[in-house]
Amino acid sequence: MKVGKMVNEVILHLGRKPATVRYPFEKIEMPEGYRGRIIYEAGACTGCRLCEKDCPAFAIEIIEVGEKQFVARIHYDRCIYCAQCVESCHKNALSISAEYELAEVDPIVLPLTAYELF
C-alpha cells in the first residue's frame, strides 16, 4: 500500500460533511411510509382475527378478555414489520408508527389496556 494514495483520500475528505449522524445525540426523522412499531387500539377491535391469520410471522395473538372485549398480544421479537396486519384490519384497530427505537427488555409488549383488564 502506497502512503501517497491514503494521504490523497484524507485530504479529499477533510472538507466534506460527514455521511453519518451522531445518533444518540441527534435523532433523524423517518421518511414517509416507514414501518415502525405496531400500535393497537383495543376500543376499535372487534375480534375478527384477520390480522392474526394474515401475519406471516405469527406475531399477533387476539385474546378475548371479556364479552366483546379483545386484546392483541404482539410479539415484537417475531414481527418482521411488514404491516400486513395493518392492511388486513378493516376496523383500523392497528396502525404503524415511525418509532424506530424498539429495544425492549420483555419480548412481548402488551398495550396498557391489557394490563388493566388482566
CATH number of the structural domain spanning residue 63: 3.30.70.3270
Q: Which domain holds residue 73?
A: 29-117
d(CA 20, CA 52): 38
Are the C-beta atoms of residues 73 and 110 closer than 8 Å to each other?
Answer: yes
3-class DSSP assignment, residue 33: coil
Position 24 in a domain: no
**pLDDT tens digit sequence for 73-96:** 888 888 999 999 999 999 999 999
Q: What are phi and psi of 13, to 5 degrees?
A: -95, -5
Position 84 in a domain: yes
Q: Is the pLDDT of residue 55 over 90?
A: yes
d(CA 40, CA 111): 7
pLDDT at 3: 64
Q: What total of structural domains would you count in the chain?
A: 1
Confidence band (pLDDT; 50, 70, 90) for 41? very high
pLDDT at 83: 93
Residue 70 vs residues 62, 64, 87, 118: alpha-carbon distances, Å: 7, 5, 19, 11
Are the C-beta atoms of residues 93 and 39 closer than 8 Å to each other?
Answer: no
Write out the DSSP string of 40-109: E-GGG-----HHHHH-TT--EEEEEEETTEEEEEEETTT-----HHHHH-TT--EEE--------SSSEE
Position 17 in a domain: no
Name the least confident of 66-70, 89-93, 94-98, 113-117.
113-117
pLDDT at 95: 94
pLDDT > 90 in the chain, percent: 42
Position 89 in a domain: yes
Mean pLDDT taken over the chain? 84
Mean pLDDT of 5-22: 84
More confident residue, 46 or 2: 46
